[in-house]
Structure 1
Amino acid sequence: MNIEQARFNMIEQQIRTWDVLDQDVLDLLMVVKRESFVPAAYAALAFVDTEIPLPRGQSMLMPKFEARMLQEASVKKHESVLEIGSGSGYMAALLARCARHVTSIEIEEDLQALAEDNLCRYGIDNVDVILGDGARGWTDNAPYDVIVISGSLPVLPQEFLPQIKIGGRILCVVGDAPAMTAQVITRVSELGYDTVNLFETVIKPLRNAFTPSPFKF
């Protein structure tokens, strides 16, 4: 396989067609080598439009999904980022190239070790991969400028909202299969938040995601 041609094809045929047109994002996808974060057993799938299996039943998300969320996050060099769900460390690597610092929370110990090892081997030193449950956010070092949640939630827990600064953004996927929506939630004032629906999708649920009671009184 011609790796660079496969990377080019992924960007042109999958990612651009998903309205990812920010040149900085497209350039970053050329620089941060996705194949370095893919388990060796699935190397042939590194640039394919599919999720890639990871330990503990988790997955690397589709390239076009990762790219679109990165574009919508619009992370700046001075900003701090919280990522919920480290996976293989690839999204953290992309965010780290845009941000001042990334805190990545992973609930599975072997995935935490995998992400940490991948990021270390890649020479990325502005990411802390922390073992913990981020289903309701992570208050250490909060508020953050950006929060990226790499698993779906039935609803976004209210605990996340004060964990971003005014002007900060939360990137999440809410709903239940087969009807989930990717959203960006921006904190516009001390108590005000603006929600924009981005696109319909289906991804695996976040471990321990908050599920509201079906009963209403």
Structure 2
Amino acid sequence: MTPSLDYAKARETMVEQQVRPWDVLDTRVLDVLASVPREAFFAEAHRALAYTDIELPIGEGERSWKPVLDGRALQALLPQAGDAVLEIGTGSGYLTACFGRLAREVTSLERHAGLADAARARIDALGFGQNIAIETADAFAWNNERRYDAICIGGAVDAIPTRFLQWLNPNGRMFVVRGRSPAMEAVCVDARNGVNDPRIQSLFETELPYLAGAAPAPAFQF
């Protein structure tokens, strides 16, 4: 009989051996990563791998982020207790739950209804859903006049869409991966210069699948 995995120990090891060495040092972020049960956001077949440094399938042809990327996104945005967060791409709901533990409220958009429903069920089962709203919507068709303190984009973009910048409040910041493979970079966009001239800080190189609707136009072939 295979012994059951000690998820609490695996969580601690993930934080200390994966996330912290990637320069995620904010204590609030580390505390959240050490307390939210990541295994609860994956199918039974993949739970034993929830704390490993790999992407995992979550359905609808989508995959999770690695834990280190979750940590870096949280630290780049550093949601405060009074902040409103917009997440584009709910996925499994794990990062959504982490945002919910840090911020006043979270709105998360997911274009796959099945993923949105599953994430909502997981978050509610953990008792984390009081300040989290998950909507089944495509970010490129979503109409909303609100402004947010922090925005996290769950897939890569060729160029940062103007409509996403317009959802930032005057002191807002955005985490997004932009560019074209193999030269993608994660950046933090700071709107304090204004959405037409935001400050953009390069954080690190990485690579993600494109957000639906945000891939580069196909090059013309002669």
Class of the TM-score when normalised by the shorter of the 2 chains: over 0.9
1:59 to 57, 63, 72: 63
Q: Which residue of 2 aligns with 1:183?
A: 187
1:154 to 142, 158, 168: 158
Moved over 4 A (4+): 212-215
Q: C-alpha distance in 2, partners of 1:192/1:180?
A: 21
Q: C-alpha distance in 2, partners of 1:201/1:83?
A: 19
2:132 to 127, 136, 148: 127
Answer yes or no: is the 8 Å Cα contact 1:135–1:206 preserved in 2.
no
Q: C-alpha distance in 1, partners of 2:101/2:10?
A: 22
Q: Which residue of 2 aligns with 1:166?
A: 170
Answer yes or no: is the 8 Å Cα contact 1:152–1:206 preserved in 2.
yes
Identity fraction in percent: 36
Q: C-alpha distance in 1, partners of 2:161/2:102?
A: 26
Q: Which runs of 5 or more structure 2 residues have no equivalent in the other structure?
A: none
Q: Which residue of 1 aligns with 2:76?
A: 72
Superposed CA deviations along residues 58-116 of structure 1, whole A, max 9, x for unmatched, are 01100000011101101111111110000111111000111111110000111011111
Q: Which residue of 2 aligns with 1:211?
A: 216
Q: C-alpha distance in 1, partners of 2:213/2:193?
A: 29
2:52 to 40, 48, 73: 48
Q: C-alpha distance in 1, partners of 2:197/2:13?
A: 41
For residues 187 and 24 of structure 1, do their structure 2 counterparts lie closer, same or farther at Cα, with a shift above 3 Å needed? same
Q: C-alpha distance in 1, partners of 2:43/2:71?
A: 20
TM-score by length of 1: 0.93
Q: Which residue of 2 aligns with 1:19?
A: 23
Structure with more strand by fraction: 1
**Is 1:86 aligned to 2:90, yes or no?**
yes
| Count of residues paired in the alignment | 214
Q: Which residue of 2 aligns with 1:196?
A: 201
Answer yes or no: is the 8 Å Cα contact 2:193–2:199 preserved in 1.
no
Superposed CA deviations along residues 123-171 of structure 1, whole A, max 9, x for unmatched, are 12211110110147x5425211111001111111111112101110011
3-state SS of paired residue (1:118): helix
Q: Which residue of 2 aligns with 1:113?
A: 117
3-state SS of paired residue (1:206): coil
TM-score by length of 2: 0.91
Which residue identity does 1:120 align to in structure 2?
D
